[in-house]
Amino acid sequence: MNCKLTRNYIVWTNFPFETSFSPCYTTTLLDLQYIMFISTQVARATLRVLLRQSANTCSQRFASTSKNSLPVVSAGSGETSHLLQTCAKKKSDPLEYENLLQASLGSHVKNSQIVQKLICQDGMVDVTWKDDCTSRYHSKWLWFNCFCSECMQPNSGQKIVKPGNIPWKLTAVNAKEFENDDGAFIEVQFKEVNHIVRLPQEWLKLYSYSTDSLQAKSELKDPPYFTQGPIKAFDYQAVSDTESNHYFEWLHNLNLSGVTVVTNVPTETGASGKVGELIGPVTTTLYGKVSDVVAVENPINVAYSSISLDVHQDLMYYESPPGLQLLHCLRFCPQVTGGESLFIDAFYAAENFRQEHPHHFQTLLKVPATFKKIHFDRDNPAAYLYQRPHITVNSHQKITNVIWSPPFEGPLQVSEELVEPYFEAYQAFAETIHKAPVVTHRMVPGDCLVFNNRRMLHGRNSYELNGGARHFQVCYVNTDDFIQRVQVEHIRRKTGQFAKRVGNQCNF
């Protein structure tokens, strides 16, 4: 296999192994994990070696600032625009994720014949695919996901089979392939009952739960770390066209790097909400839908003063804290000194923390901290109290959630033997965060910072007004609305990619 690295692409030719994509495949670095998933194990291993070998050459676009060589992306690298070009340059689409994901919703779509061999043994179905990968499926798993009209409503894609109607004991005894106008399927019969399970072949492969498949799909959702600026900017009018590539590039970059800035937003009250509504409904919080961030006397929030704000996340005392935060600059007079916005990638900091302090990392996985907002001297009294650990990982040990909000931490309420280990781990994590790379951005009127509140720690330098004014407004959009919109846009554009992990504790 040959690899030619160009300024914008990696071109792979002369593959020594069987793949389902074309003999010449032009790709960005972001596509490599996708290739690893659809290729054979040999292909994945080979591509990983080549990726490591080309890391130095690609350092301007994927830099590593850690001694542990954590992968990093700069939002200013133009990676998303390269992805858009790549989508147009592919000679063939090796896995139609649009079809696969629509199939998972119950849509009737054409899917390809990709099964090489089917075997029923030990009450399970073993599938060998045409790329020589293998998957094994339990009988109950197959029935619980059956596509027949008795089990799934065709139009909605919702299950209608009642769990109690599926036998406790179920043994697959016969499996066969067949094709019709809707594509290629497999049918499975059982020993105990006269019911035939029907599943699309591509859907079945996509949802394979073999160890290799689960690991590969988990890696597809890894976002690159964001540790150096500048923060990529997008024009408000351009992204307002939700059918445009500018809109998709904005969402994709926001999903990758965790922070973007939308420029030329009208400097009028409530405009941040209009930016947010391009993605999803604006969330109503304790502070309303859109709130002002401006220095006042006797502030009810430390943000409503001119002192510096250490990096943190907002509203971590909520059961489901907001996903996206939109911070819109209405006024920022030239004579105002300081007040720059600060960002640290919490995923990057947490991964460094795991590698440098594995024992403390385990402590912060299991000991729940207290987060609170108790304040009655305000128009809208608040009494929020919530316990959760600072860090969460999934079954593949991928970091899925980081919580860091010192201004809103309450008294630790755990068993005595956990108190000292917790504070040792807490202080070590605070040190790691303090040493992490900080991305700084000074707002100008019309800027709207849009960032992932579940991933990016944000703060602010102190400032002096010097006779000027600094007036921001803030609003939030729910994580679920953001991540589903990103995935919808990937499906519509047939990019073959999953939305990246966003820090909402999802186990994928």
pLDDT tens-digit series, residues 435-480: 999 999 999 999 999 999 999 999 999 999 999 999 999 999 999 9
79 pLDDT higher than 70: no
Mean pLDDT of the region 227-237: 97
Total domains in the fold of the chain: 2
- Of 45, 62, 95, the residue at which a domain comes to its end is 95
158 shares its domain with 206: yes
Of 91-105, 281-295, 372-386, 417-431, minimum mean pLDDT range: 91-105
What pLDDT is stored for residue 400 in this prediction? 97
- pLDDT band per the 50, 70, 90 thresholds, residue 88: very low
Check whether residue 87 and residue 135 sit in a common domain. no
Q: Is residue 399 part of a domain?
A: no
> Band of the pLDDT at 111, cuts 50, 70, 90?
low
Within a domain: 257: no
On whether residue 103 sits in a domain, the answer given is: yes
**What length is written for the chain?**
508
Q: How confident is the model at residue 307 (pLDDT cuts 50, 70, 90)?
A: confident
At residue 53, the pLDDT reads 40
Contact 75, 223 (CB under 8 A): no
Residue ending a domain, choose from 95, 122, 140: 95
Would you say residue 38 has pLDDT above 60?
no
Picking from 101-110, 185-194, 259-268, 291-300, which range would have the lowest pLDDT averaged per residue? 101-110
Whether residues 127 and 76 fall in one domain: no
CB 303 within 8 A of CB 309: yes
Of 180, 215, 250, which residue constitutes the final position of a domain? 215
In a domain, 125, yes or no: yes
Indicate whether 69 pLDDT > 70.
no
Confidence of residue 429 (pLDDT cuts 50, 70, 90): very high
Strand arrangement, sheet containing 439-441:
309-312, 456-460, 341-345, 439-441
Residue 300's pLDDT is 59
- Residues with Cβ within 8 Å of residue 94, at least 6 apart in sequence: 19, 20, 21, 22, 38, 496
Q: What is the rounded distance in angstroms from the CA atom of residue 433 to the CA atom of residue 9?
A: 34
- 17 is a domain residue: yes
Do 134 and 103 lie in one domain? The reply is yes
Same-domain pairing of 82 and 113: no
Q: Are residues 147 and 209 in the same domain?
A: yes
- For the stretch 193-200, contacts whose Cβ atoms lie closer than 8 Å and that sit 24 or more positions apart, written own/partner, are 193/167, 195/143, 195/150, 196/148, 197/142, 197/143, 197/146, 197/148, 197/151, 198/146, 198/147, 198/148, 199/142, 199/145, 199/146, 199/147, 200/103, 200/109, 200/111, 200/147
Residue 202, domain member (yes or no): yes
For residues 370 and 413, is the Cβ–Cβ distance under 8 A?
A: yes
pLDDT-based confidence at residue 86 (cuts at 50, 70, 90):
very low
* CATH number, domain with residue 128: 3.30.2020.30
The C-alpha atoms of residue 30 and residue 401 are separated, in whole angstroms, by 22
* HSE value, Cβ hemisphere, 13 Å, CA-based, for 461: 16
Structural domain harbouring 86: 2-95
Same domain, 53 and 160: no
25 found inside a domain:
yes
What pLDDT is recorded for position 145? 94
Mean pLDDT is lowest, of 76-85, 116-125, 335-344, for 76-85
**Cβ within 8 Å of residue 276, ≥6 positions away:** 282, 324, 326, 450, 475, 476, 477
Same domain, 60 and 132: no
Same-domain check for residues 113 and 197? yes
Q: What is the pLDDT of residue 252?
A: 97
Least confident range from 13-22, 147-156, 210-219, 447-456: namely 13-22
Query: Is residue 206 domain-shared with residue 106, that is, in the same domain?
Result: yes
Same domain? For 65 and 165 the reply is: no
Q: Would 145 be classed as within a structural domain? A: yes
Domain check: are 104 and 185 in the same one? yes
State the chain's mean pLDDT as an integer.
Answer: 81
pLDDT beyond 90 at 249: yes
